[in-house]
């Protein structure tokens, strides 16, 4: 009987997330505010139902009372967060808040299934991050000075990355984090933001050749430091973000071409020079020759995705823990294995939906500074999603980055909350402006 309940709930969850994802794109073609609000309410409804179904399964499988308390705490958090955002900011982008909550709920579900302790920690971090970042839209609206300190962003970022490169603790061969007491933080997650701010402030002042050279040099130092720290995923993200921002700021195709060309050349060089790059690429090309060794992670991930199939094995029915660092870089495979590929693809499209929302906001901003910030942060966000999901499915070589809001990790959660907060701030700014204009 239990199996039956679990099977049925699983299909319901897939149906609901498909509906949620559909609404996510449907909203782009709706102009009417009342209709938009109705769509958002339906999304909330779908999210809470998925969350409920999942925790019913978790309860059946574990019979652990703590799960009930944890579930209720999460529901409370989502309700309060959704409510508070709208209370503080009348003109908030509900779609973005909804998507954040949706991704977070999936994160809680998977992490609870993988490790209750980690899920608890993640929950606490999320609550703290949510509270702290709730003020960001307020700040963005009022502190124009943010555009006046490019070198604080630029040099601060380089300094932080440099410290990690030299003194960072290594995990899986890469220098990623700094230990501070019991905590370890991953500075590159925050430097992403200062980096975008640096580029935006510089190009907002001028896009003459001299500035381009200066900014390129600083960006290059960022990227190189990351490469030396063996944080290839971040290096790639930083690189792409710079080239894209440069192109949008200057409008010169030559820069884009040079960027793409230079990037390809640099990748080739990196492949020749760095052993760790070569290892990754070779493990990607043919992981099957060394399943027990270098190909272990990716083949386990493919086993998980393949065995799960379109509709998944069901929570607790797969073996996601066979995949190393499943709760971080490989959370997507765990979702695909137990909740199904359809569910996982919906998550992918929800992320894409967030990005499209980012781009829409960027295109509406008149000020170059804001436009570049929205665009840059959006690019960073979406490339991170692409690298993670592409990596775990063997579409591209695995680069070891996390899926924002879904993967376990405090720095990643906090920085993503900040990014969403900034974008939200820009959206609110614009809407407020429009309202004033109308009045």
Residues that bind other proteins (CB under 8 A): 1, 3-4, 204-208, 244, 247-251, 291-292, 299, 302-307, 309-310, 313, 317-319, 322, 341, 345, 348-349, 352, 355-356, 359, 362-363, 368, 371, 375, 379, 382, 386, 389-390, 393-395
Distances (CA, A) of 126 to 47, 326, 362, 409: 17, 19, 26, 10
- Least Cβ distance, residue 146 to other proteins (angstroms): 16
Nearest to 199, CA basis, from 378, 383, 376: 376
Nearer to other proteins, 78 or 375 (CB): 375
Nearer to other proteins, 124 or 290 (CB): 290
What's the order of all strands across the beta sheet hosting 169-171? Answer: 169-171, 174-180, 183-185
Nearer to other proteins, 26 or 205 (CB): 205
Residue 331 and residue 319 in contact, taking contact as beta carbons nearer than 8 Å: no
- Least Cβ distance, residue 123 to other proteins (angstroms): 29
Distances (CA, A) of 284 to 82, 98, 174, 233: 41, 35, 18, 15
Q: Phi first, then psi: what are they for 184, rounded to 5°? A: -130, 130
Nearer to other proteins, 8 or 268 (CB): 8
Nearer to other proteins, 134 or 319 (CB): 319
Query: Tokens 């920690």 identify what position?
Result: 121
- Least Cβ distance, residue 209 to other proteins (angstroms): 11
First to last CA, the chain: 61
Nearer to other proteins, 106 or 126 (CB): 106
Token output for 169: 């603790």
- Least Cβ distance, residue 359 to other proteins (angstroms): 5
- Least Cβ distance, residue 302 to other proteins (angstroms): 5
Residue 97 and residue 79 in contact, taking contact as beta carbons nearer than 8 Å: no
Nearer to other proteins, 34 or 292 (CB): 292
Cα 20 to Cα 53: distance, rounded to the nearest angstrom: 15
- Least Cβ distance, residue 186 to other proteins (angstroms): 25
Nearer to other proteins, 49 or 305 (CB): 305
Q: Which residues, including other chains, have CB under 8 Å from residue 184's CB and lie 6 or more apart?
A: 169, 177, 178
Cα 246 to Cα 253: distance, rounded to the nearest angstrom: 10
Residue 305 and residue 393 in contact, taking contact as beta carbons nearer than 8 Å: yes
Q: What angle do CA 284, 289, 292 make, to 5 degrees?
A: 90
- Least Cβ distance, residue 401 to other proteins (angstroms): 15
Nearest to 227, CA basis, from 186, 274, 279, 295: 274
Nearer to other proteins, 169 or 206 (CB): 206
Nearest to 67, CA basis, from 76, 79, 77, 57: 57
- Least Cβ distance, residue 112 to other proteins (angstroms): 20
- Least Cβ distance, residue 239 to other proteins (angstroms): 14
Burial of 31 by CB count in 10 Å (0-12 exposed, 13-18 middle, 19+ buried)?
exposed
């Amino acid at each position: 009987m239990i199996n039956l309940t679990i099977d049925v709930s699983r299909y319901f969850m897939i149906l609901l997330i498909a509906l949620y994802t559909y609404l996510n794109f449907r909203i782009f073609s709706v102009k009417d505010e009342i209709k938009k609000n109705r769509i958002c309410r339906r999304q909330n409804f779908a999210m809470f139902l998925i969350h409920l179904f999942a925790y019913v399964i978790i309860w059946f499988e574990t019979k652990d009372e703590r799960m009930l308390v944890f579930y209720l705490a999460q529901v409370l958090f989502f309700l309060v967060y959704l409510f508070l955002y709208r209370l503080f900011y009348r003109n908030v982008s509900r779609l973005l808040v909804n998507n954040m909550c949706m991704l977070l709920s999936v994160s809680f579900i998977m992490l609870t299934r993988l490790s209750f302790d980690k899920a608890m920690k993640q929950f606490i971090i999320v609550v703290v991050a949510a509270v702290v970042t709730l003020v960001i839209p307020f700040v963005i609206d009022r502190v124009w000075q943010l555009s006046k300190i490019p070198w604080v962003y630029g040099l601060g970022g380089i300094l932080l990355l440099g410290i990690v490169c030299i003194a960072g603790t290594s995990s899986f061969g890469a220098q990623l984090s700094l230990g501070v007491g019991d905590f370890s933080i991953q500075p590159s997650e925050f430097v992403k933001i200062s980096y975008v701010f640096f580029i935006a402030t510089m190009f907002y002042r001028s896009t003459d050749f001299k500035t381009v050279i200066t900014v390129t040099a600083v960006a290059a130092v960022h990227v190189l430091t990351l490469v030396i720290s063996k944080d290839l995923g971040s290096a790639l993200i930083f690189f792409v973000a710079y080239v894209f921002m440069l192109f949008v700021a200057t409008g010169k195709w030559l820069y884009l071409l040079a960027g793409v060309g230079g990037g390809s050349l640099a990748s080739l060089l990196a492949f020749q020079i760095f052993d760790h790059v070569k290892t990754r690429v070779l493990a990607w090309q043919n992981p099957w020759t060394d399943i027990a060794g270098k190909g272990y992670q990716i083949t386990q991930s493919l086993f998980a995705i393949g065995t799960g199939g379109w509709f998944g094995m069901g929570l607790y029915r797969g073996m996601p823990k066979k995949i190393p660092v499943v709760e971080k870089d490989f959370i997507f495979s765990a979702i695909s294995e137990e909740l199904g590929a359809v569910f996982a693809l919906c998550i992918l499209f929800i992320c894409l939906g967030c990005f499209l929302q980012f781009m829409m906001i960027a295109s509406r901003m008149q000020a170059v500074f804001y436009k570049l910030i929205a665009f840059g942060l959006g690019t960073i966000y979406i490339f991170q999603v692409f690298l993670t999901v592409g990596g775990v499915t063997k579409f591209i070589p695995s680069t070891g980055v996390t899926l924002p809001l879904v993967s376990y990790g405090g720095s990643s959660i906090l920085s993503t909350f900040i990014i969403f907060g900034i974008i939200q701030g820009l959206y609110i700014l614009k809407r407020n402006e429009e309202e004033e204009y109308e009045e």
